[in-house]
Amino acid sequence: MKYESDINVEAQNGPLLDLYCIQQVRRFLGGKSRSTIYRWVSEGRFPKPVKLGANSIAWPIEELIAWRDSLIQEGQLV
């Protein structure tokens, strides 16, 4: 269910993003470790997370899907 505030934000900024926390990203990657994910981010091999607050980050699912699709097209395995 969308609340009026969600609709207003969506109207102003486009559709709301689906975000994955680190646990969801780990599942998306078939169980890769947190340290592997953060190492890949620091090496530029994986999308950077967005900061949601002082102690909270997440990854837009659209970026994860685009990253995965680019690996498939290039024939690379992670």
Chain segment 5-23, per-residue pLDDT in tens: 444 444 455 555 799 999 9
pTM for the model stands at 0.73
Contact 59, 67 (CB under 8 A): no
CA separation for the pair 58, 20 (Å, rounded) = 5
CA separation for the pair 3, 26 (Å, rounded) = 30
Residue 19, phi-psi category: left (phi > 0), alpha (psi -120 to 50), beta (remainder): beta
Could you tell me the residue ranges of all domains in the chain? 20-74
pLDDT of residue 75: 87
